[in-house]
Structure 1
Amino acid sequence: MQYQSMEKSKQQVTSNTNNYYASSNADVPTMAKAFAILSYITLIGWLVAIVLHGSHKSNFISFHLRQSLGLIITGALLALIPLIGWLLNVVVLLVWIYAVYHVVQGHTIRVPILGDFYQEHLDFIK
């Protein structure tokens, strides 16, 4: 009897976990993911993504446009710092990989440390 209840609760946890990831992927259209990924690929990719975003408005794309522009600006500013700027840009690269991974997964997770700042101060991107 106890074994059956443990198995039942284990199945519920597994199905709840799968529903979370399935719903997050199902809610985001492939086109929105493509535009969001494009926004993370250099400034030119960001410009193309913002133009395409004009015809396909989406909160998911807007969120990632703000995050990616913030990373682009941060990387450019860090490149101006002599000696340690390149080392700090390695950190930006790792954060960029983290962000692109979550775009592919269909998540809207803010980048560590500066993600909230990007969302607040780049709010002109709607």
Structure 2
Amino acid sequence: MEVENTIQEGKTIAIISYITLIGTVIAYVMNQNKKNSFAAFHIRQALGLVLLAFALNLVSTMVDISLFYKIVAPAVFVLWLLGLVYAVQGKEKTIPLLGEQFQIWFKNLG
């Protein structure tokens, strides 16, 4: 019952965290008072995805690789969509590939 309450209370913040970098920042600020573990989990996932997309875009611009826009960007979008779907469904599930790393790297957030 307590886990279900945590999920329900943090679901809105978790969903907001996936709406661009601004949404991630807003979700982080909103969660500072509540310290909801479910919301914090998804804030870490969303921040990791935003930074991943930024880094990959930066590298592709520097190297001038159109591969980013054909393969990597759609793959990052799919990962983002998975994270959002997990948040909506109330699942604390990491996204494939780097989700576990995001939880480790950003463990102090939330």
Same topology, TM > 0.5: yes
Per the TM alignment, residue 26 of structure 1 is displaced from its structure 2 partner at its CA by 5.6
8 Å contact from structure 1 (residues 35, 61) kept in 2: yes
Match of 2:56 in 1: 78
Per chain length, whose mean CA-contact separation is higher, i.e. which structure has more relative contact order (CA < 8 Å, sep 6+)? Answer: 2
Q: Distance in 2 between matches of 1:34 and 1:48?
A: 11
- For normalisation by structure 1, the TM-score amounts to 0.75
Q: CA RMSD in A?
A: 1.9
> 2:28·2:43 contact (CA, 8 Å) conserved in 1?
yes
The percent of aligned pairs where both chains have the same amino acid is 31
Compute the displacement of 1:25 (Å): 5.4
Q: Superposition pairs for residues 1-126 of structure 1, below 5 Å? A: 28-29=7-8, 31-80=9-58, 81=60, 82-86=65-69, 87-126=71-110
The runs of 4+ residues in structure 1 deviating greater than 2 Å are: 23-27
SS in structure 2 opposite 1:28?
helix
Q: Pick closer, same or farther for the CA change 1:88–1:124 going to 2, 3 Å.
A: same
How many residues matched?
104
Name structure 1 gaps, 5 residues minimum: 1-22
Contact 1:40 1:68 in 2 (8 A): yes
Letter of the structure 2 residue corresponding to residue 79 of structure 1: N
Counterpart-to-counterpart distance in 2, 1:107 and 1:72: 20
Tell me which amino acid in the other structure corresponds to 2:89: Q
Deviation digits for residues 33-63 of structure 1 (CA, Å, limit 9, x no counterpart): 1101100100111111111001111110111
* TM-score, normalization by structure 2: 0.86
Higher-Rg member (1/2): 1
